[in-house]
Structure 1
């Protein structure tokens, strides 16, 4: 019966150490990337829903449906001058449920200043990448222009 020598075992342990030193940093950023991608995807869906409401307003001069639960005849919910929704959600803990069909299930919050934060910007991602949401960034909605944009604070 032939056994491994000490040199062979050390070589295998060294090889495993080198491989793990290369692989572990690749996997640590995956959670942050998933949160950033989720937030950017939801923000794109919000902007698409806002644009769809505006498109319906332009095409139909009368009654039409807007978002998931926005009443376009209610001046508190819909801006009849600009053709954009005024509110995107019913509360600070459900800030997107009026504009998105599954808006009540997304992990977003809205604070008293009207800033929206998703999985990455709500304390989820600590590293700062230009153009991507992180722990100190937030989204703002302008109901006059119909824009949902990321504000990067870069603290």
Structure 2
């Protein structure tokens, strides 16, 4: 017998198989988008921390005045002479991180006393799926210039 078409049972089986596979795969792809945003936020925070540690490293080994980042002078009020960490990361309120990051004028950070606060995830395009210890909308980063630490906070943002 020479067959030229699929039977109805075979077509139903293929449609059912595609439905089961898509029901398993679609949630995985949705989670990947949030994971990518979280990874991007953690990468940016790591870059900021690395820049801060580079300034601190210069302070540890240098006896003479030096410049780190994008214009943070060690012999100015921009620098903590006791701990060796930058105090001023930006030129002003509208450019809060331009002295430490190349594109620091585009971030939404604010200075409050000796500390800098910034959103842990972009308010418009960030992830709202909050996982313990990971950045999301509603959490913020806090830079403490006395300790040189960049920490994720859930309150006081």
TM-score range, shorter chain: 0.7 to 0.9
Cα distance 1:13–1:143, how it changes in 2: closer, same or farther (>3 A)? same
How far is the alpha carbon of 1:91 from its aligned partner?
Answer: 4.5
TM-score, length-scaled by structure 2: 0.83
Unaligned stretches of 5+ residues in structure 2: none
Deviations 1:65-120 (A, max 9, x none): 21122222221x212222111122335554332113x3338x631146542124x3
Partner SS, residue 36 of structure 1: helix
For residues 1-150 of structure 1, what are the structure 2 equivalents within 5 Å?
A: 2-75=4-77, 77-92=78-93, 94-100=95-101, 102-104=102-104, 108-111=107-110, 113=112, 114-118=116-120, 120=121, 122=123, 124-150=126-152
Alpha-carbon distance in structure 1 between the residues aligned to 2:95 and 2:43: 17
Alpha-carbon distance in structure 2 between the residues aligned to 1:6 and 1:94: 65
Structure of greater Rg: 2
Count of residue correspondences = 149
Alpha-carbon distance in structure 2 between the residues aligned to 1:39 and 1:22: 27
Indicate the RMSD between aligned Cα atoms, in angstroms.
2.1
Cα distance 1:52–1:39, how it changes in 2: closer, same or farther (>3 A)? same
Unaligned stretches of 5+ residues in structure 1: none
Q: Is the 8 A contact 2:111 2:117 kept in 1?
A: yes
Alpha-carbon distance in structure 2 between the residues aligned to 1:94 and 1:41: 20
